[in-house]
Amino acid sequence: MPTIECMLRFGGILTLALTAGVATASPPEDVITEPPGPPSVAPSEAVELESEAEVEFETIEDPRQRADRRLDAAAAILGEAIPPRTRLRLTWTPFSNTLAESVRTPLARARKLIEDASSDLASIAGPGRDRRVARAICLAATLETLEIMSRADRPRIDSEPLRRLHQGLGDAAERTTELDGSTLAGLALLALVAEESASTRTAATLLTRVRGNPKGVDAIEFEWLDRLAKSGDATATRRLAVARGMLRTRRRAADRLLLAAILLQAASETMPPAEATQAALLELLRTTEENPVIRPKLVRGLAGIATGIPTDDRAGTMSPLIALGRAIE
């Protein structure tokens, strides 16, 4: 079982700041180019709100209750302030600096809450500590995943950094029942990447728990993860096949655009940019759209997303879709 001190380190960032080791108890048709990011708050207002919240937390004398409240607040940020479609875009589609900037503040707030809760838990012992520590570890893993994937130099989703993050979890998800759907979905993603085989820790098992507590997860996020889990892994080839299969079903335009963006990212990892954008565009427009206004919006939407794909900027070599996206910018 990992200790708290070494748990979930990435890029020199210590996720949980506990000074003690882990307890040893047994265990619409509107098309959008970007999903709506977290609500923007003026810096002064944000500081004021955080100060008020911290004062409220500090008035709670019992460190267990204080930790619970902080972890509740962190879970709300990761599941509601950063909604499912934002998480999908951030994690599975081409990098977007606008999207990454939109989640920077809420992720920082969630990190502070988890670290402060971890400090609270360092001062207690006895019943209830282990499940609280386990919850903090699981929330931190979800947070770390989003932080990693919001970096401009982010790795591929099926990469060693995320596999290490999964390994650091150990049996934490099994030691607590206080995980909402969005956290469980984040853990399922990591299990997929790591190709976890232990029956109690597989992506399929975690998604079964999501069915029982779906808070923070929407239908398209669940279907994507569920189909990917059934495919066996999160490699680019699997993602390409699953996204293509989902696009063959008639869906709302916004859902098709999201799935095409997922397909585009997977395709860009297996073929040149021009071929990847062509494949994504073909699947996006394969379903006949009755409203003639929608198809141009879909193309413009995918063009904007495609600008996140690394490409050769030399004249005459750039994908037409990427060139269109840059012109729209």
Reading the block at residue 170, the tokens are 């150990």
Summarised one tens digit per residue, pLDDT across range 212-270 is: 999 999 999 999 999 999 999 999 999 999 999 999 998 999 999 999 999 999 999 99
Q: Which pLDDT belongs to residue 55? A: 63
* The pLDDT of residue 193 is above 60: yes
Summarised one tens digit per residue, pLDDT across range 113-137 is: 999 999 999 999 988 999 999 999 9
Q: Which pLDDT belongs to residue 57? A: 83
Query: Which is more confidently placed, 23 or 288?
Result: 288
The model's pTM is 0.84
Reading the block at residue 157, the tokens are 């989703």
Integer CA distances (angstroms), 146 to 34, 103, 218, 285, in order: 17, 9, 17, 30
**Quick one: DSSP state of residue 324?**
H
Q: What percent of the chain has pLDDT over 70?
A: 81
CA of residue 38 relative to chain centroid, distance: 14
Render 17-46 in DSSP notation, one character per residue: --SSPPP---------SS---SPP--HHHH
Integer CA distances (angstroms), 204 to 129, 133, 187, 210, 240, in order: 28, 24, 11, 10, 20
The answer to whether 183 and 124 have CB atoms below 8 angstroms apart is no
Q: Which pLDDT belongs to residue 310? A: 85
**Quick one: DSSP state of residue 77?**
I
Mean pLDDT of the chain: 85
Tally of CB atoms within 10 A around 98: 12
Summarised one tens digit per residue, pLDDT across range 133-190 is: 999 999 999 999 999 999 999 999 989 999 999 999 999 999 999 999 999 999 999 9
Reading the block at residue 199, the tokens are 């029956």
Distance CA 230, CA 249 (A): 18
Q: Which pLDDT belongs to residue 198? A: 92
Backbone angles phi, psi at 10, to 5 degrees: -150, 125
